[in-house]
Structure 1
Amino acid sequence: MHNPRRPVVLPMRSGVSPSCVVLPTQGEGSMLDFLGTRLSKVSRVDWQRRMAAGEVVDERGVVVLPDRRFEPGLRLFYYRTLDNEPQPPGLEAVLYWDEHVLVADKPHFMPVIPTGRYLHHTLLVRLKRQLGLSELSPLHRIDRDTAGLVLFSVQQKTRGAYQALFRERSICKEYEAVAPWRPEQVFPCERASRIEESPQFFRMQEVSGPPNSLTTIERLETGAHWARYRLRPITGKRHQLRVHMAALGLALRNDPFYPSVNDVPDGDWSRPLQLLARSLAFTDPLSGEQRSFTSGLNLLPLDAP
């Protein structure tokens, strides 16, 4: 690699920062050959069009032309595009914003960052486009199916101080969930287990071994069939809350993955997962002030059909 730091060679465009691909240490042919093979979802014709438009540059900011020879270890920057991107319902809300952090309230179904079929209709890209914050970056993530609070770093210079809050478990996160209730289950309780990726890459599972995840669970209210719970993840494993509740026989309402896969058709937004990132609280590592934020969103009533 020619330059160990990520250079700014293409500006943010409509909230989308340029993507990067690194050429391997061995190869031959032209830059067009490499891109057409490595990133084959984009046609050679489209790569030629992008290159002619100056939308593919190297780490020095030099426009990459189709017939340029392969250069081992070089980084190329380009803009990702998507056709027919789904547009989830609902709008995000900015609850707090200063020179270091931003707190946003995310609706159900909206991914936090670009992934798969989603690019422009992700929380990160929408906020960057609306606010012009090119260095905006999420400090943690919640599932696309989950609604609620997401904490962002506004500038790279102070990002490390806020990332340490999560690394050192110095931030208090509370979630709200709707799930069945079992009168024999005693609350409050804790669930500690070992969570690892399942053979289905998009799901997690509990396995034997030393616990690597811990959640405290409290029942807030009960209805005829459903109950409302407060969940506090002490650790931050992927899908931790969903896995722990399903393991207790209390799978979250409208969960498409747990305890079994029940994917909804594309474009069906009628059954939002009943999980909400309700609150965040922490001591600001720069100012020493106590910060506390609460989501303005709500889950379904317990008696909702």
Structure 2
Amino acid sequence: MSKAFSDEVREFTIAPDDDGIRLDRWFKRHLPDATFNIVSRWARTGQLRLDGKRAAPGDRIEAGQVVRVPPADPPKGAKQKQVRPPLSEDQIAFARSLDFHRDKSALVLNKPPGLAVQGGSKTKDHVDGLLDALQYEAEARPRLVHRLDKDTSGVLLVARSPRAASIFSKSFSSRRATKIYWAIITGVPDIDEGTIDLALSKQPGTGGEKMHPDPGGQSAKTLYRVIERAGNEAAFVALQPLTGRTHQLRVHMAAIGHPILGDGKYGGQDAFLTGEISRKLHLHARRLALPHPDGGMLDVTAELPDHFDKTMTALGFTASLGDVDVAPPDLPPDPAAQKRAARAYAKDIRKGRRGERRGRGKSRGGKG
């Protein structure tokens, strides 16, 4: 059912997972090469039928109905959908080693640090490319429903059906999903528990690859709690993002002066400790809880990666103390103090960029 175009008329029976959706949405799910314009043309010419009757792209469909798809040739210049190369035995074994929870609707992976969730122009190894190995007995290929940064480890939820994907996605967008992260930060906050409320936007001049605090940006809120301290050198913290902005936890912690350990992108040299402490990012999606499509709650936790676990031991932290809910503090946050921290952080960024511009100017002058 992956190809939109055929020399013959085809008929498909609507599955229960597609009950109630629009017909154009059904095409997007199952015949993505048939664009909205193509489907509309089929409807206008009477070739598109539901149970033998003329249909329109906006019609709601029901389980058990039969969709008639007419024969058609692909339009000139149409791009052929890329075929995913078959996975090797090693890739299949690796993908399945990440799976620590599986039921009718959900797969939960413990994503290792360094593995991207989706591919890009320079990224060939990613979770999305491994999902064929995780289909098991399901009829549909698993679908990603949320994301983690490449260097962030931990809980990654994958839906096993279109219906489950829709329900999980709505839980994330409506903020009914509770996400708890563990992190080790450099330094120790003066307040053990609080809310960081700093709007974020893409930092100019970075091609959208970095975010920064911006009063005119998108609202971003993070609850944090200090679990343990290693003197004044570092702290083990639990973080709960109330919004889902790009790099939110990393920017928020750097903005209050306590970057996540190993996060040189936002913390610079202040994000690293001396000695044998790993320079990898110490940010782990520990727990995810949200409504399950089949009733009840899905509540899962992921074990720490090796580098994080070794740092916990080296700094004398106890992992079992971190499994607590991060609740809103009794006292409201100090917005004035947070704004001061954000301004200082933005000032440092501007200073760095001025230095880069001066460097580029000298280089151009030398060419003459």
TM over 0.5: yes
Secondary structure in 2 aligned to 1:257? helix
User: Which whole-Å CA distance do the structure 2 matches of 1:285 and 1:7 have between them?
Assistant: 19
Change (3 A) 1:169 1:191: same
Shift of 1:126: 2.1
**TM-score normalised by structure 2 residue count:** 0.56
1:165 matched residue in structure 2: 171
What fraction of aligned residue pairs are identical, expressed as a percent?
Answer: 24
Change (3 A) 1:130 1:257: same
1:215 matched residue in structure 2: 222
Q: Deviations over 1:235-278 (max 9, x none)?
A: 0000000000000101111113103499xxxxxxx632000000
Superposed CA RMSD: 3.5
Conserved in 2, the CA contact under 8 Å of 1:282 and 1:292?
yes
Matches of residues 92-103 of structure 1 in structure 2 within 5 Å? 93-103=98-108
Query: Please, which of 185, 191, 194 is the counterpart of residue 186 of structure 1?
Result: 191
Unaligned runs of 5+ in 2: 6-22, 36-70, 86-90, 271-277, 316-368
Query: Please, which of 189, 197, 202 is the counterpart of residue 197 of structure 1?
Result: 202
Secondary structure in 2 aligned to 1:76? coil
1:107 matched residue in structure 2: 112
Structure ranking higher in helix proportion: 2
Conserved in 2, the CA contact under 8 Å of 1:192 and 1:211?
no
In the alignment, residue 220 of structure 1 is paired with which amino acid? I
Q: Deviations over 1:138-157 (max 9, x none)?
A: 11101001000001111113
Conserved in 1, the CA contact under 8 Å of 2:200 and 2:212?
yes
Query: Please, which of 229, 240, 258 is the counterpart of residue 237 of structure 2?
Result: 229
Query: Please, which of 133, 136, 141 is the counterpart of residue 142 of structure 2?
Result: 136
Aligned length: 238
Change (3 A) 1:258 1:20: farther
Q: Deviations over 1:99-155 (max 9, x none)?
A: 211110001000112223323x31222232354565211111010010000011111
**TM-score normalised by structure 1 residue count:** 0.67
Q: Greater shift after overlay, 131-140 or 171-180?
A: 131-140
Matches of residues 234-249 of structure 1 in structure 2 within 5 Å? 234-249=242-257
Highest CA radius of gyration, 1 or 2?
A: 2
Aligned: 1:153 with 2:164:
no
2:131 matched residue in structure 1: 127
Unaligned runs of 5+ in 1: 10-18, 23-59, 65-69, 82-86, 263-269
Conserved in 1, the CA contact under 8 Å of 2:184 and 2:261?
yes
Change (3 A) 1:285 1:99: closer
Q: Greater shift after overlay, 169-178 or 249-258?
A: 249-258
Query: Please, which of 251, 256, 274 is the counterpart of residue 264 of structure 2?
Result: 256
Conserved in 2, the CA contact under 8 Å of 1:170 and 1:282?
yes
